Amino acid sequence: MTPDEGLTRRDFLKKSAVAAAALTMGTTAVARAEEAAAPLHCGIIGTGSQGRQLMRQILRLPDVKIAAVCDIYPPNLEEGLKLATEAKAYKDYRRLLARDDLKAVIVATPLDRHAYMSIDGLHAGKWVFCEKAMARTIDLAKAMARAVRETGCHMQIGHQRRYSPMYQHAYKMVKDGMLGTITHVRAQWNRNGSWRRSLPDEKYEQLLNWRLYWEHSGGLMTELGSHQMDAVNWFLDARPLAVTGMAGLDYWKDGREVWDNVQCIFEYPGNDKVDKVRVTYQSICTNAFDDCAEQFMGDKGTLIMTSNGAEDSGRLIREAGSEEVEWSQFAHKQKLGDKDAIVLDAQATVHKTASQKEGEALTAQEHADDYFLELQQFFKDVRAGTKPVCDVQVGLESDVTVLVANEAMRTGRRIEYTPDMFRA
C-alpha cells in the first residue's frame, strides 16, 4: 500500500488544497492553509453527563478533534475516554491547559468551578466554551468577563436557545410586531423528581449531587431558570429592573439544601404603551404539568415557546379583534383549548403571501440539535476569531438576573437591579 492509499476522500481533498496553495502562495500562506485544513484540537474539562452530551455533539464535527479529557471522578473519566478513544486523560485540569496544541476547551463541571477553570483557560491562551450558568456569584462572573478582555480570547456561554433556529424565528416575529406590545411574560420549568443521583459510596455525595448544595450550586434558578430568563432578556431586549419572590424546601426531605420550588416576579422596562413588563417565573420538583415553556403575551397575541434542549417548538395565538396577517391562511394550525394556535415553522419565512406559499427553507443542518448548533458555531468562531453570539456579556446579564432573584427569595425583599451589576 502506498502512503496515500488509506486516505479518506476528506483527507485527500485537504492535502490537495494545501498542495495547491503551495504553488500559488508563500510559506506563511501555506502554513495558514495547513492550519485551516487540520482538525482543531480541543479539551473537555468535566466528563459527567453534561460533558459527555457535549462530547457526542463535538464528535459529529469533522474538523474538530477531542484530544484531551479531564475529570476528578474516575468513572466519569473512563466514560469520557470511551467516547474520545484517542484522547489523553487528565485528573488535573491545569495539566490539560498546559498543552500548546489545544486551541479551545469546554468547561462542563459543577457551577462552583466554572469561573476558576474558565479564567485559567483564557490565560492559557484557549478559547473557552463554559456551560451555563456562568458562575456561582456575580463577582466571579465579572472576573470571567474581565479575563476575556485581558487575554483577547473569547468565551461562549452554553445558552443554546440563542442558537436555535426556532427561537431565532420566534424572536424575529416578536420584532416584526406579531404580538403587538408585550405586557407580560410567564415562564416555568416544572419537573416531578428528586434531582438526586445514586451513589456508589456516600463519600461522593457532594461531588455527584452538587446541585443540591448551596456551596456548589445556585439551585433551580441557575440550573434551569438561567436558560429561560436569558430568553426573556433576549426577546425583550432588556435587563430586569427589580425582582421579588418566594421559595422553599417543602417536599424533598433528603438532606439537600437548595429549594425544591421557586416563584419569582420580575419587573422589566416598559414603553410608550405600558409602564412595566411583568415576568413571572416558576420551577417546581413535584409536578411536571406544563413542563418547560416561555409564554410572551402582547396586546395582539401570545407566543408560547417550548424546548427540551434537542427540539424546540412554538405556537402563536392571535388576540380576538387583531388584524389578520396575510400568511396565516397558509399556516399549520392546531387547537389550544378553544383557540386556534399557529404552529411556528422555522423553515418558512415570517411573511408568506399567496404567491409564496412554500416560504424559504433553512438548510437541513440548521435543524440539528441545539447543542450541536451552539458547539458548531463556537468552533467556527474559534477558527475565524469572531466574537460569539452568546458571549460573556450575555452570560453575565443572565447570571445577574437569576442570582439577584435568589437573593430576593432568600431575604424576602424586593431587590432593584442597578446598572453596575451588569458591568464587569
pLDDT-derived band of residue 357, with 50, 70 and 90 as boundaries?
Answer: very low
Collect all residues with Cβ–Cβ distance below 8 Å to 345 and sequence separation of at least 6.
169, 331, 332, 359
What's the pLDDT at 279? 98
Hey, which of 10-24, 333-347, 359-373 has the most confident mean pLDDT? 333-347
Do residues 167 and 156 both lie within one domain? Answer: no
Report the CATH number that the domain containing residue 167 is assigned in CATH.
3.30.360.10
Do residues 178 and 225 both lie within one domain? Answer: yes
What's the pLDDT at 348? 59
Q: Which grid cell sits at 109? A: 463541571
What's the pLDDT at 24? 58
Mean pLDDT value of segment 283-306: 96
Report the CATH number that the domain containing residue 78 is assigned in CATH.
3.40.50.720
What's the pLDDT at 25? 54
Domain range enclosing 133: 9-161
Structural domains in the chain (count): 2
pLDDT-derived band of residue 33, with 50, 70 and 90 as boundaries?
Answer: low
Do residues 131 and 211 both lie within one domain? Answer: no
What's the pLDDT at 26? 60
- CA dist 82 and 85 (Å) reads 6
On whether residue 340 sits in a domain, the answer given is: yes
Predicted confidence (pLDDT) at residue 297 exceeds the cutoff of 90: yes
Predicted confidence (pLDDT) at residue 391 exceeds the cutoff of 80: yes
pLDDT-derived band of residue 313, with 50, 70 and 90 as boundaries?
Answer: confident
Do residues 205 and 218 both lie within one domain? Answer: yes
Q: Which grid cell sits at 146? A: 474581565
Last residue of a domain, one of 131, 161, 191: 161
Model confidence over 215-251: pLDDT tens digits?
999 999 999 999 999 999 999 999 999 999 999 999 9
Do residues 302 and 176 both lie within one domain? Answer: yes
Predicted confidence (pLDDT) at residue 70 exceeds the cutoff of 70: yes
What's the pLDDT at 27? 54
What's the pLDDT at 282? 98
On whether residue 270 sits in a domain, the answer given is: yes
Mean pLDDT value of segment 381-387: 97
pLDDT-derived band of residue 413, with 50, 70 and 90 as boundaries?
Answer: very high
Do residues 358 and 320 both lie within one domain? Answer: yes
Predicted confidence (pLDDT) at residue 390 exceeds the cutoff of 60: yes
Q: What angle do CA 134, 213, 225 make, to 5 degrees?
A: 45
Residue 208: CB atoms within 10 Å = 19
Do residues 248 and 341 both lie within one domain? Answer: yes
Its pTM surpasses 0.85? yes
Predicted confidence (pLDDT) at residue 10 exceeds the cutoff of 50: no
Hey, which of 289-293, 322-326, 419-423 has the most confident mean pLDDT? 419-423
What's the pLDDT at 238? 98
pLDDT-derived band of residue 309, with 50, 70 and 90 as boundaries?
Answer: low
On whether residue 374 sits in a domain, the answer given is: no
Query: Side by side, which strands form the sheet with 182-190?
Result: 333-336, 339-343, 312-318, 301-307, 292-298, 182-190, 276-284, 261-269, 242-248, 415-416
End-to-end distance of the chain based on CA atoms, in angstroms?
A: 59
Last residue of a domain, one of 108, 139, 161: 161
Mean pLDDT value of segment 196-206: 96
Hey, which of 264-268, 329-333, 360-364, 368-372 has the most confident mean pLDDT? 264-268
Do residues 142 and 232 both lie within one domain? Answer: no
What's the pLDDT at 350? 40
More confidently predicted of 156 and 6: 156
Do residues 202 and 254 both lie within one domain? Answer: yes
Interhelix angle for 49-58 vs 370-384, to 10°? 70
Q: Are strands 415-416 and 292-298 parallel, antiparallel or unpaired?
A: unpaired
Q: What is the mean pLDDT of the chain?
A: 88
Q: Are strands 415-416 and 242-248 parallel, antiparallel or unpaired?
A: antiparallel
Last residue of a domain, one of 127, 161, 195: 161
What's the pLDDT at 361? 34
Do residues 209 and 134 both lie within one domain? Answer: no
Predicted confidence (pLDDT) at residue 310 exceeds the cutoff of 80: no
What's the pLDDT at 254? 96
What's the pLDDT at 183? 98
Predicted confidence (pLDDT) at residue 53 exceeds the cutoff of 70: yes
Q: Comparing C-alpha atoms, which of 237, 258, 242, 260 is closest to residue 250?
A: 260
On whether residue 234 sits in a domain, the answer given is: yes
Model confidence over 107-134: pLDDT tens digits?
999 999 999 999 999 999 999 999 999 9
On whether residue 372 sits in a domain, the answer given is: no
Model confidence over 139-169: pLDDT tens digits?
999 999 999 999 999 999 999 999 999 999 9
On whether residue 379 sits in a domain, the answer given is: no
- CA dist 158 and 36 (Å) reads 25
What's the pLDDT at 353? 34
Mean pLDDT value of segment 265-270: 98
Do residues 69 and 210 both lie within one domain? Answer: no
On whether residue 265 sits in a domain, the answer given is: yes
Do residues 309 and 203 both lie within one domain? Answer: yes
Q: What percentage of the chain reaches a pLDDT higher than 70?
A: 83
On whether residue 245 sits in a domain, the answer given is: yes
Q: Which grid cell sits at 6? A: 488509506
